[in-house]
Amino acid sequence: MVRTRPPTRLPLAEFARRKLADLAERGILRRLATSRRGAHQEVERDGRRLVAFCDNDYLGLTQDPRVKAAAQAAIAAHGAGAGASRHITGNPPLYEALEARLAAFKGHEAAVVFGSGYLANVGAVPVLAGRGDLVLIDELAHACLFAGAQLGGARVCRFRHNDLADAERLLATRRHRHERALIVTDGVFSMDGDQAPLAALQDLAGRHDAWLYVDDAHGLGVLGAGRGTAAEQGVRLSLGMGTLSKALGSYGGYVSGPAPVIDLIRSRARSLIYTTGLPPAATAAALAALEIIEREPERCRVPLAHARRFAARLGLAKPESAIVPLVLGTPQAALAAQRALEEAGFLVVAIRPPTVPEGTARLRLSFTAAHRTEDIDRLADAVRALGLA
């Protein structure tokens, strides 16, 4: 006999209240706070001025006068929004210029811009791997990569973080059962700050007739003279993804690679077809930011140098990116550390499950070209005084 659950009699609002209470008790309830961002990563929140070490504006370009002027000029010339999907209204002005510039910057034939990095991954990955295919994904890859892999209906297998032997084992035992195989990883892992071994992964993909897809959202603008993790490691990738919303200081995401692959993504990616195009201000700002990066490559070296200055002051391992995690264990410990640093004048947000694995709640510190060295040193002193490192 099939047993069925009795229908719930709980009102919707009461259901939500109980869920919220449970999240709060476990220390993983999330709330939004109003903040006003300014120069040098200064933030005004709840009437206090704090120095933020938690966002991804790695080059400080969200506040750059040249980027803001480009966005303002685009609004004046082309309006505030795109009106509809690009497949309906066509490319708003500057789209084609931005995609051509991105492709050239990454050394690829073509690029396609999406409404966000999340939309890029949930749209592109299912185009490349669907039913009957295999997706191997690093266990610490970004949530949107997992979402994209699952949306396509492929068989999804996690391999241990940066563990080439585990990835090789999975390919050796499972590749033959599937028509196509895709290896998916971050270039720089957003919560740990370490880099993926791209040359070894590319070699592994080649030996097993698989493709490699790299999300380099946190490498672009920071590593390889701004060109990303692959450039830093001396690897030439045939396909890659990045964002316009971190080091470029704007909004959106992109995928770049061979022209036929990009044409296929343009034609089949649901998150592109069924999403309104980026506003002209966003595309203009991203174009201006790319020009700054190409003209001022020395700016791209600063975030990593700042991260290493902070780590050296505390005797921590040498960072591989602008991200430095301080793993504290429980959500409660991470929240307490966040509050303590706020009292010291810093905004560093606690990162808790499910964003990171259970038992690894942390403070995720990110360093930018806009930070002042005196603020970095003050932060290191505060972290040491609180016993967080």
Report the distance separating Cα 324 and Cα 280, nearest Å: 34
pLDDT band at residue 315 under the 50/70/90 scheme: very high
Annotated catalytic residue: which of 190, 245, 271, 321? 190
Q: How far does the chain reach from its first CA to its final CA, in angstroms?
A: 57
Contacts of 83 (CB under 8 A, 6+ apart): 89, 92, 276, 277
Annotated catalytic residue: which of 108, 208, 218, 371? 218
- What's residue 9's pLDDT? 82
Report the distance separating Cα 227 and Cα 174, nearest Å: 34
Query: Is residue 156 located within the same domain as residue 230?
Result: yes
Q: Mind giving me the DSSP string for 48-86?
A: EEEEE-S---TT-GGG-HHHHHHHHHHHHHH-S---SBH
pLDDT per residue as tens digits for the range 173-186: 999 999 999 999 99
Q: 266-280 in b/e burial notation, b at 16+ Cβ within 10 A?
A: beebebbeebebbbb
pLDDT band at residue 338 under the 50/70/90 scheme: very high
- What's residue 1's pLDDT? 58
Query: Is residue 82 located within the same domain as residue 102?
Result: yes
Contacts of 191 (CB under 8 A, 6+ apart): 140, 323, 325, 351, 355, 356, 362, 364
Report the distance separating Cα 388 and Cα 25, nearest Å: 23
Percentage of the chain beyond pLDDT 90 is 93
- What's residue 5's pLDDT? 74
Query: Is residue 113 located within the same domain as residue 245?
Result: yes
pLDDT per residue as tens digits for the range 130-178: 999 999 999 999 999 999 999 999 999 999 999 999 999 999 999 999 9
Query: Is residue 175 located within the same domain as residue 111?
Result: yes
pLDDT per residue as tens digits for the range 257-313: 999 999 999 999 999 999 999 999 999 999 999 999 999 999 999 999 999 999 999
- Catalytic-residue membership of 190: yes
Query: Is residue 265 located within the same domain as residue 307?
Result: no
In a domain, 19, yes or no: no
Cis peptide before 297 (omega within 30 of 0): no
- What's residue 92's pLDDT? 86
Q: What is the pTM of this model?
A: 0.93
Query: Is residue 286 located within the same domain as residue 309?
Result: no
Query: Is residue 191 located within the same domain as residue 334?
Result: no
CATH number at residue 236: 3.40.640.10
Q: How many structural domains does the chain have? A: 2
Containing structural domain, residue 49: 28-62+299-385
Q: Which of 83, 77, 48, 42 is nearest to 63 (CA)?
A: 42
Annotated catalytic residue: which of 106, 108, 142, 246? 246
- What's residue 6's pLDDT? 72
- What's residue 333's pLDDT? 97
Report the distance separating Cα 123 and Cα 117, nearest Å: 10
In a domain, 238, yes or no: yes
Query: Is residue 289 located within the same domain as residue 346?
Result: no
- Catalytic-residue membership of 19: no
Query: Is residue 329 located within the same domain as residue 220?
Result: no
pLDDT band at residue 211 under the 50/70/90 scheme: very high
Cβ neighbours around 345 below 10 Å, total = 14
Q: Facing residues of 44 across strands?
A: 36, 49
Residue 324 in this model has a pLDDT that exceeds 80: yes
41: left (phi over 0), alpha (psi -120 to 50) or beta: left
Query: Is residue 83 located within the same domain as residue 45?
Result: no
Residue finishing a domain among 239, 273, 295: 295
Mean pLDDT of the chain: 96
- Catalytic-residue membership of 246: yes
Number of H helices, E strands in the chain: 16, 14
CB 138 within 8 A of CB 190: no
In a domain, 17, yes or no: no
Residue 4 in this model has a pLDDT that exceeds 80: no
Residue 46 in this model has a pLDDT that exceeds 90: no
Report the distance separating Cα 173 and Cα 152, nearest Å: 22
pLDDT band at residue 2 under the 50/70/90 scheme: low
Query: Which secondary-structure segment (H or E) carries 232?
Result: helix 229-233
Query: Is residue 240 located within the same domain as residue 109?
Result: yes
